[in-house]
Amino acid sequence: MGKRLTPVMLCSLLLPWLQALAQDVSFDEIQPILQARCVICHAGEAAPLGLRLTSLDELLKGSKSRPVVQRGEPSDSELIKRLKGLSQPRMPMTGPPFLSDAEIALFERWIAGGLKPGSRSSTATIPPTPLQHPSAGQPVTYAHVAPIFASRCVKCHSAYGLMGSAPEGLLLNAYVAILDRDERVRVVPGSSLASELVRRIRGQSQPRMPYDGPPYLSDEEIQLIVDWIDQGARDADGRPAPSPVGSRVRLQGVLGEGWTLDSLQLVVGPESRIDKSPGVGDYVEVRGRWSQDGRVLVERIRRR
């Protein structure tokens, strides 16, 4: 005969679960989630809306305009609204995936239970994740540069970003999207000089990116992206991207002697359309195609 569930047995089964529910959540359980999913953006000088989530104190300070948690009132807390998508854009902005129901419930219980501090000091700060460089002799891969795009670009350059759809249709949240060559290439594997993305982060092409800068990217971050592209814009597994020969490019910059754009050689021929008589030193927009021999065959060049 099968065992019958007696009331005593039932209680002993449910008790640990009820106890867990009743137990207060402390910041010790919140901090690892912030570390894994939030501080890539909500840290430092460039923290969105000034909201830093790197320590309990910073979280309680809230953003420039308001506190993000209301003690005892999870449903009135902006942080919960953002995690559930009741307030847009939904957090984390790198999602989907967003947080699991269980993780969101932890935040709710922590707020409902009075924002109990953890075992560490409330000023204990999650250290910034240092830039990952390849080990000696190894190439830079997408794995090294993806965190830069995630922390500084994805908030706009994603399908549901701060500016609505991605500016210029440019998605920077996935390898395949960054190398997309449907309309035109913004990253030319093997040539940082011909990559509009690099021109933008250096400010050779205007407006400089990130659009909400300063702060712009650090020299070290820019160099890592330049090396990534010059070494073939490899995927996270180290496989180089295919060459985009024949793809369209659209570049902006200052015209130099002998049809150069900041030392990138342009090929201007009889078929090239030249508008508004651009001269050396002028800021121009160049449309063309990437050629086999690593030059830009100009279709149109125009002074801006």
Comparing CB distances to ligand HEC, the nearer of 51 and 193 is 51
Which of 15, 163, 274, 280 touches ligand HEC by CB under 6 A?
A: 163
Query: Whole-angstrom Cα distance, residue 289 to residue 160?
Result: 30
Residue 61 interacts with ligand HEC (CB under 6 A): yes or no: no
Which of 30, 217, 224, 297 touches ligand HEC by CB under 6 A?
A: 217
Residue 286 interacts with ligand HEC (CB under 6 A): yes or no: no
Which of 25, 30, 38, 194 touches ligand HEC by CB under 6 A?
A: 38
Comparing CB distances to ligand HEC, the nearer of 63 and 70 is 63
Residue 185 interacts with ligand HEC (CB under 6 A): yes or no: no
Cis geometry, peptide bond prior to residue 214 (ω within 30 degrees of 0) = yes
Which of 154, 224, 255, 297 touches ligand HEC by CB under 6 A?
A: 154
Which of 37, 109, 144, 234 touches ligand HEC by CB under 6 A?
A: 37
Q: Is-contact 261 254, C-beta < 8 A?
A: yes
Span of 17-25, 109-117, 149-157, 236-244 interacting with ligand HEC by CB under 6 A:
149-157
Residue 194 interacts with ligand HEC (CB under 6 A): yes or no: no
Query: Whole-angstrom Cα distance, residue 77 to residue 213?
Result: 28
Q: Is-contact 133 224, C-beta < 8 A?
A: yes
Query: Whole-angstrom Cα distance, residue 220 to residue 151?
Result: 15
Shortest distance (Å) from residue 102 CB to ligand HEC:
14
The dihedral region occupied by 228, where left means phi > 0, alpha psi between -120 and 50, and beta the remainder, is alpha
Comparing CB distances to ligand HEC, the nearer of 85 and 114 is 85
Q: Is-contact 204 253, C-beta < 8 A?
A: yes
Q: According to CB under 6 A, which residues from 74 to 93 bind ligand HEC?
A: 78-79, 82, 89, 91-93
Span of 137-145, 199-207, 226-234, 254-262 interacting with ligand HEC by CB under 6 A:
199-207
CB atoms within 10 A of CB 60: 15
Query: Whole-angstrom Cα distance, residue 276 to residue 282?
Result: 11
CA nearest 273: which of 287, 292, 294, 290? 287
Q: Is-contact 131 220, C-beta < 8 A?
A: yes
Residue 42 interacts with ligand HEC (CB under 6 A): yes or no: yes
Shortest distance (Å) from residue 42 CB to ligand HEC:
6
**Tokens at 147, concatenated:** 């965190």
CB-based contacts of 34, cutoff 8 Å, min separation 6: 42, 53, 54, 59, 126
Residues that bind ligand HEC (CB under 6 A): 37-38, 40-42, 48-49, 51, 63, 65-66, 68, 78-79, 82, 89, 91-94, 99, 150, 152-157, 162-163, 167-168, 170, 172, 186, 196-197, 200-201, 207, 209-212, 217, 250
